[in-house]
Amino acid sequence: MAEPYYITTAIHYPNGRPHIGHAYETIAADVIARFQRAQGREVRFQTGTDEHGLKMAQKARELGVSPRELADEMSGYFRELFDILNISYDRFIRTTEPCHHASVQELWRRMEANGDLYLDRYEGWYSIRDEAYYDESELIEGEGGEKLSPQGTPVEWTVEESWFFRLSKYQQPLLDLYNSNPGFIRPESRRNEIMRFVEGGLRDLSVSRTSFDWGIKVPGSEDHVMYVWVDALTNYITGLGFPEDTPEFRKFWPADLHLIGKDIVRFHTVYWPAFLLSAGVEPPKQVFGHGFLLNRGQKESKSLGNVTDPVELAERFGVDVLRYFLMREISFGQDGSYSVEAIVTRANAELANSFGNLAQRVLSMIFKNLEGQLRTDIAATAPDEHLEATIRTHIAAMQTSFEELAFSEGLESWMKAVFACNQYVDEQAPWELRKTDPERMAGVLLTLFRCVRDLAIAVRPVVPTSADRLLDQMGIAPEARDVAALEDGNWFPALVATGFRMDKPVGVFPRLEMPAEDAA
């Protein structure tokens, strides 16, 4: 029996509407979840919104609404986006839920019982935008000589009474964790960065605030609210029923993968495992920090006027096209860039012209020349066997890459399989065989039918709706679209035995036109 699999995204901060970066991370997580389900694993996929903290309180005040009203409205936009993007999450968590408050307070009590919390006074630099504390040595100088965080965000000097977490106590336990599980932090560049940070020494961490009250109360110190990162990170166990000993918690924790942006790796790989170790809870198995998504090579910002609404992109080009582009174009873990031209070019070259055209030609010729009828009475030739073996090899390579979260590399293997099919079509020329050797034509078309089916199943985690529309036309049952189905050597005779006959096919990957304003 395959092991259960638990994947989470970072929960998103809803002080504004979702942007393309939120879509990128959540699509990647969905591809992983669908891929793991196709392996036969029971998957738990969690996403949601992180709704407390000073940033939310300030934004609500600016808009003249309560923080709760702002959270309700913005969280709704995130859920709407994820539904549009066909995100197959099992749990959408909000940190304003009562069960989450109970979970975080219990984590706090356990850390306190372990002697890891104490009351003191905090004086230091704080970035409201990052919701992060920074040491003087980490700050950089802005163009006007002002102090900025390492992320380039404004910092302010903060002085207030605060509870502290004994992070310094966990320097060696964290290094032991990293050394015993080299895959805990990925990619390697992030691991090296965090190792150097922890080896350099850890200072105790301020984990409560008294200057605002939009957050989770500290047990026994009601005038303190918890540091938003203690609150936010705990969502990963709240969603499994913590602190109760639920079947979900026993089955899915520790998480297999926290998928996050590279800017919050420290919180997830230093603070989070330290909190868990303090509370007597096992740390997650892996944290992967992906890169940023850039608009024509630039970070998106309102001042530059280049902020993209992912809903608009999905409506403009299609959800599956957007999903495919983001997984194909960018080497996962590194920064990547997108543009309207790049989306159209990639989608037309690979989805429409290469795979879409292949599928449509093959199914159309079967419908027209074989009256939609499939057969098993034609012996395979050496070229047929070679093609099917080639497809299996490339799909196996694709799956290995997807296991490693190397989506672009995996889709490159998939495209090699598509190209092999198109080359086989050109070499065998079934339109010529129709006149000279109809039986051989039938053999070629049925070989291609089997290959197209395999290609559609393999790419289904990335383009689920389009792949399913194609497989529906091919008579492939919904329950026969996973890795086990790819390994089933008897599927084709079984399908033929049902008497299935193809109707006139409908293309699933139409060519995109470059919008007029972007074509210049």
Total number of domains in the chain: 2
Considering the domain boundaries, does residue 12 fall inside one? yes
* Distance of alpha carbon 452 from alpha carbon 365, whole angstroms: 13
Considering the domain boundaries, does residue 370 fall inside one? yes
Residues 93 and 234 in one domain: yes
Q: Which residues contact 225 (CB under 8 A, 6 or more apart)?
A: 52, 208, 209, 210, 212, 213, 214, 215, 216, 217, 218
Residues 92 and 238 in one domain: yes
In Å, the largest CA–CA distance within the chain is: 89
Considering the domain boundaries, does residue 319 fall inside one? no
Which long-range CB contacts under 8 A does 208-213 form with residues at least 24 apart? 208/162, 208/163, 209/54, 209/160, 209/162, 210/160, 210/161, 210/162, 211/54, 211/158, 211/160, 212/54, 212/57
Considering the domain boundaries, does residue 475 fall inside one? yes
3-state secondary structure of 94: strand
Domain extent at residue 56: 5-290
pLDDT tens readout for residues 105-159:
999 999 999 999 999 998 889 888 888 888 888 999 888 889 999 888 999 998 8
- Please identify every stretch of the chain with a pLDDT value under 50, giving residue numbers as ranges: 519-520
Pairing of strands 156-165, 117-127: antiparallel
Considering the domain boundaries, does residue 168 fall inside one? yes
Residue 47's beta-bridge partner residues? 92
**What confidence score (pLDDT) does residue 300 get?**
67
Domain boundary among 226, 260, 290: 290
Residues 281 and 358 in one domain: no
Kindly compute the dihedral angle of the four CA atoms of residues 312, 318, 324, 329, in this order, to the nearest 10 degrees. -50
Considering the domain boundaries, does residue 334 fall inside one? no
**CB 88 within 8 Å of CB 44:** no
**What confidence score (pLDDT) does residue 91 get?**
98
Residues 81 and 188 in one domain: yes
List the structure tokens of 328: 């194909």
Helix axes 20-38, 67-84, angle to 10 degrees: 50
Considering the domain boundaries, does residue 505 fall inside one? no
Residues 122 and 50 in one domain: yes
Q: Render the burial of 68-99: b for 16+ CB within 10 Å, e for the rest.
A: eebbbebbebbbebbeebbbbbeebbbbbeee
**What global pTM score does this model have?**
0.94
**What confidence score (pLDDT) does residue 451 get?**
98
**What confidence score (pLDDT) does residue 297 get?**
74
Residues 360 and 224 in one domain: no
3-state secondary structure of 389: helix
Domain boundary among 265, 290, 315: 290
**What confidence score (pLDDT) does residue 520 get?**
43
List the structure tokens of 486: 């790819």
**What confidence score (pLDDT) does residue 517 get?**
59
* Distance of alpha carbon 210 from alpha carbon 317, whole angstroms: 47
* Distance of alpha carbon 24 from alpha carbon 15, whole angstroms: 18
Residues 273 and 345 in one domain: no
**CB 336 within 8 Å of CB 291:** yes
Residues 345 and 283 in one domain: no
* Distance of alpha carbon 138 from alpha carbon 155, whole angstroms: 11
Residues 157 and 246 in one domain: yes
Considering the domain boundaries, does residue 402 fall inside one? yes
Q: Return the closest-CA partner of residue 331 out of 404, 426, 389.
A: 404
Domain harbouring 217, CATH code: 3.40.50.620
Residues 252 and 385 in one domain: no
Residues 153 and 54 in one domain: yes
Domain harbouring 434, CATH code: 1.10.730.10
For the purposes of burial, counting CB atoms within 10 Å of the CB of 212, is it exposed (0-12), middle (13-18) or buried (19 or more)? Answer: middle
Residues 366 and 249 in one domain: no
Q: What angle do CA 79, 82, 85 make, to 5 degrees?
A: 155
Rg (CA), the chain: 26
Domain boundary among 227, 261, 290: 290
* Distance of alpha carbon 143 from alpha carbon 201, whole angstroms: 30
End-to-end alpha carbon distance in the chain: 55
